Chains A and B, each alone.
Chain A
């Protein structure tokens, strides 16, 4: 009996009127965990009931604690008929199960109903007492921390990065059970919400077990997804990277951890984890499918592609022996793993040695009913197959690991496309296990790969290249070979030297397909896939060249399957890496050179392209230093290739055309226009409009080339559903429509956010769905971050300087705080007594000094802006009795969170407003330090309506629902004591409508990490704030509190 869960129901507010006669509600609450249910008394005739219940105690084992959500149902008591449910709150208590995260969950939660949305709020306090019980055979994995963040979380340091963990669980979808015909859709949706909550708890526990087996203590880059397979069931699957993390600076928990763990790494000796046992057997159970199953399971594996550098080149001679050594090293470390995959996209410096290129694999499967939910063998086998393929692709690129790894599915009826992609890479083994040869190797590595360009150097053997590539000597160090173009799925490494700024590059594509059934359908899809991949790749390459850039980061290719078409959307952030050669232009070649007007047309187009390239270079400030040719070591101009897509059997025969390049630029990329299709393609290249001035956009964490972020952020979700109304659609018209849809959406975002200029849209994440015939749904989640333009101009000097500056922002932060702490405060800051006082106070109360500064800051802000409303709020507070009561209950909530709660109760006590919770898809908040990770937020909601028109149509319905989801995420974070969600992601948004019946339904799944952050400006408030930085936080201080 290793745990006691305690729940207290304090009060409710703004409940809906349930009794029309009295315009009041007789509310009571049911608290359910597992199979135990408690009830509060009925609080009669009130919309703001004060239950103030006793502590309901559940004695449960920790397996249950991990799996089960706490269910709180608010009901209206009815003497004569059945009690009406007002709504529910699901609370995931997982954050309470590990010691460093939250110790209490306490706050106002929106009461949610699948039909009516949010109906008032309820104040709940939840605690867990865990009893240690380590010696028994554990089925639970309490204590393993989960992070959505795809980098080492800010206040931790990676001792060992163990590697890939994955798991999936399946169940029948309540929506499709026979009982569905009897029960209401509402009951069915509630059953689904409950089930998915349960399944994700179970999944997390199972992943945690694997991590414990690997002797890790955390999962980073945790990505959990649902596959709504319809009739055949519900799959919840997750992947992540197991790590052993060490909390930094334990003495001063609130002090910022460093941003780059590598520094720490050097200072403190590596803690070697004991060697890991039984990895391969448990990591990924591959069950051999029986023969009969195989026949049922029609599956087509699709040729896969590897994107790497282009062009052909000569073989190099250097680095061979060393590389071999290194490879052997890493190999030994990684070969123990079945899948040397890492879901991380950002790494501690020195971790990533070389990057080979993008590897991806897709497979088309036919879904069938999952016969035995306890043995989800087929689904497991499917993924194992794909991962195997990815692994072999990486090997072919001379890499032993895959980083920035992710998996996704697209389902339409019974067809499912499974996709996986990542970046083949060579890693530094010392992070992966105990580094026996660390000392000598480390030296050699650092020698071999200079910080700014090492990762660009090819990992494969030049003499024995897996594919023809155009290699040159690195433009930075001139020692190693680099490809001419680099595609990756990871974020730009911090140490990378970049010229100019980056930009969002998208390839968009539609392909019609015939409606078909089962095998025929799957076959036609898998036949189309290689062509789509090829075209997406060509588009990306062209657009990259058009912007005068030579590398793509954060590449994500999404192929979506619909009834009668396939859609491809690739997003990436283009940059100019100083280490890679300058990209050549784009050359257009016509097929029929005799025609005069045609020639003219071609030359006109060529001019337009050249102009665009010139314009883009100016826009993105790409002006690499000119290098004398001879230093570079003459790349040999052999016959150039067009697009090289390797390892795709179907491709090899296509597109072999001899091109006459005698008139072109040396490195020009040639587009051949042989028919109208190609013409369209060239046109579409030119339709991409650059963002309006003051805006930049990227889909990576940080915008390459901008480093002076100001703290203002705005996270948003935009969803559009458009009807492709063509009667006889062709690929071209569809492409154009799709392209316009995306471009208009972007334009609309720029317009909406115009008040934030200068700003950058970061982590722009598009997801495409084809909910019905002719309907395309695009959902975008991103964050707009403002930056300081003046500083940007200053920083815009030499590229090296810039990268140093960026690195130094990290370093400064990192150095400044630990130093201040370690030295005697009196001697180090004789001129800032106030800060000492704060620090002194915080040392024994546990209240972060800066948080107190927050409220100070805020009040002054309020004075300036609207003192009167503050005053009124204060007065208003005295009228309302309920909220005062709840504040007190908050205060006595828990000893550990006390500090923070007290802080929070300042605003809530004085003006009873809601505390601000920031949300961002990034792993950090500009201008702020994350001081504590409180746990993972993983929420799933369904909303339905039978009065679509009355709720403002589809837009009104979805608008309200997304706002509700945000509100519920914020409420949960606030209840954990946090003030932000980082690495927020909307993983699923499934919208269905039936306008004839006036009905609609939507499912949304979101996740992220709840954190506490403190403004940097508040950490260093008193001692001489830098002038530029000081002005900004003052304005932003207002959104810290209230």
Chain B
């Protein structure tokens, strides 16, 4: 005697968190049943495998019907088909949009295109995230990207409104969109030590300090793009390295102020010539940002030209912080330097990024 048809529909939709997890992870019904069995539910509840199968199928069907609504969470709130208490709705959305950081790290800065989706098999193998789950998460990234691409205003807030995500998750998505938009290179070997969290933090600093939304709430450009005018202006900073006088003065000011603290071994020694090198690197990174090609190399440059030299000089993170603080403040005393505000806006994000990235 086989059951052809077997459904259970509650007035309040039943959501089993465990089964939801299994469904999100991309397991088939059979796999999910096997896992639930291993979880010992049979012994606990004294039920049968058939019951477990029927239950799992019911939940899977519900989730499949819900998935359409989860693609646009505000609709989940408005729809009449499933009666779900608000805290459960929040849970559904949150879990659906939660992602594996390892996967997100792999995809950071990549174009969210069909081509990338085809490569998910390898990503899945590398990260240990199931392929179906990979695809779902990839689609989430892409959906969020498409939805906010053209919108004005702060990225994270837009995402929060359109997808009803908790603030932290919305900020992570904002980072993903930001990276996808600017296509920053993150896959190079020398960047491998950086986690998704590092990049997300960098993205947030960059958006916070650099994007239009940071200055004017009614900005004309979407937050995901770095404002062209700002990038153009950054070229002006080259004066700090091109003008010999300014460079020397800047160097003097920086090291002068730092002497008492930075006088430790290895600091004064190698940085005698290092400060100008660092200075040049820092300013040049900004100057290059007008070209999309160079934008991609932003993080590579920072690591190669700043972090690695500092590391080889055995700076501690404290040392770097001190240096950056003084280095940022120094031009204030430079005569004839008119871009103080621009400089500080630029350095605020750069410093935050460098400090976040400066670890093993």
Contacts and interface: CB of A to CB of B under 8 A. Distances in A.
A744 B51 contact: yes
B4 interface: yes
B153 to A, nearest CB: 11
B10 A873 contact: no
Given A748-B55, A752-B14, A917-B83, A962 B164 contact: no
Contacts of A870: 86
B81 interface: yes
A913 interface: yes
A30 interface: no
B77 A724 contact: no
A862 B86 contact: yes
A248 B165 CA distance: 48
Given A913-B77, A971-B80, A955 B7 contact: yes
A868 B89 CA distance: 13
Interface residues of A, number: 71
Interface stretch (B57-65, B101-109, B232-240, B248-256): B57-65
A737 interface: yes
B2 A718 contact: no
A722 B7 CA distance: 12
A924 to B, nearest CB: 16
Most chain A C-beta atoms within 10 Å of own C-beta, residue among B45, B86, B160: B86
B343 to A, nearest CB: 35
B65 A913 contact: no
B47 interface: yes
B341 interface: no
Given A692-B45, A721-B4, A967 B164 contact: no
Contact of B9 (A692, A724, A913, A966): A966
Most chain B C-beta atoms within 10 Å of own C-beta, residue among A737, A868, A917, A971: A868
A714 B12 contact: yes
B337 interface: no
B54 interface: yes
Contacts of A639: none
Most chain B C-beta atoms within 10 Å of own C-beta, residue among A718, A721, A722, A748: A748
B161 A956 contact: no
A748 B48 CA distance: 9
A862 B79 CA distance: 20
Interface stretch (A188-196, A399-407, A874-882): A874-882
Given A14-B75, A723-B2, A970 B160 contact: no
A16 to B, nearest CB: 12
Contacts of A873: 77, 164
B81 A118 contact: yes
Interface string B193-216: 000000000000000000000000
A723 B4 CA distance: 7
A565 to B, nearest CB: 14
B298 interface: no
A314 B233 CA distance: 111
B230 interface: no
B45 A725 contact: no
Interface in B138-185: 157, 160-162, 164-167
A724 B1 contact: yes
Contact of A956 (B3, B61, B79, B162): B61
Contacts of A744: 48, 50-51
Contacts of B90: 866, 869
A959 B63 CA distance: 12
A873 to B, nearest CB: 6
Interface string A861-872: 010011011101
Interface string A955-969: 110111011101100
B278 to A, nearest CB: 42
Contacts of B50: 744
B347 to A, nearest CB: 33
Interface in A967-996: 967, 970-971, 991
B8 A13 contact: no
Contact of B74 (A121, A692, A876, A916): A876
B75 A741 contact: no
B80 A748 contact: no
B160 A108 contact: no
A184 B45 CA distance: 49
Contacts of B157: 875
Given A692-B45, A912-B77, A959 B86 contact: no
A64 to B, nearest CB: 30
A956 B5 CA distance: 9
Contacts of B78: 13-14, 883, 912-914
Contacts of A952: 61, 64
Interface string A1007-1042: 000000000000000000000000000000011001
A913 B86 contact: yes
Interface residues of B, number: 51
A866 B1 contact: no
B85 interface: yes
Contacts of A718: 7-9
Contacts of A14: 75, 78-79
Contact of B86 (A715, A866, A970): A866
Nearest to A911: B77
B336 interface: no
A722 B10 CA distance: 21
B87 interface: yes
B24 to A, nearest CB: 19
A206 B235 CA distance: 88
A751 interface: yes
B229 interface: no
Most chain B C-beta atoms within 10 Å of own C-beta, residue among A118, A737, A956: A956
Given A720-B3, A722-B4, A869 B164 contact: yes
B161 A741 contact: no
Contacts of B62: 959
A591 interface: no
Interface string B7-26: 11111111000000000000
Contacts of A914: 77-80, 83
Interface string B80-101: 1111011101100000000000
A875 B161 contact: yes
Contact of B80 (A722, A960, A970): A970
B83 A916 contact: yes
B217 interface: no
A969 B14 CA distance: 19
Interface in A674-720: 692, 714-720
Contacts of B9: 716-718, 959, 962-963, 966
B11 A715 contact: yes
B46 interface: yes
Contacts of B61: 952, 955-956, 959
A695 to B, nearest CB: 11
Contacts of B55: 748, 751-752
A954 B10 contact: no
A866 B45 contact: no
Interface string B30-74: 000000000000000111101110110110011011000000001
Contacts of A916: 83, 85
Given A714-B11, A718-B7, A751-B51, A872 B164 contact: yes
Given A744-B48, A963-B13, 18 more contacts: A13-B78, A14-B78, A715-B11, A718-B9, A719-B7, A721-B3, A721-B4, A862-B86, A872-B164, A876-B77, A917-B83, A918-B11, A955-B7, A955-B57, A958-B5, A962-B7, A963-B9, A970-B83
20 contacts: A14-B78, A118-B81, A714-B11, A744-B51, A751-B55, A752-B8, A754-B45, A872-B165, A873-B164, A876-B164, A883-B78, A914-B78, A914-B79, A918-B11, A954-B5, A955-B57, A966-B11, A967-B82, A967-B83, A1039-B12
Interface of A: 13-14, 108, 110, 118, 121, 692, 714-725, 737, 740-741, 744, 747-752, 754, 775, 777, 862, 865-866, 868-870, 872-873, 875-876, 879-880, 883, 911-914, 916-919, 952, 954-956, 958-960, 962-964, 966-967, 970-971, 991, 1038-1039, 1042
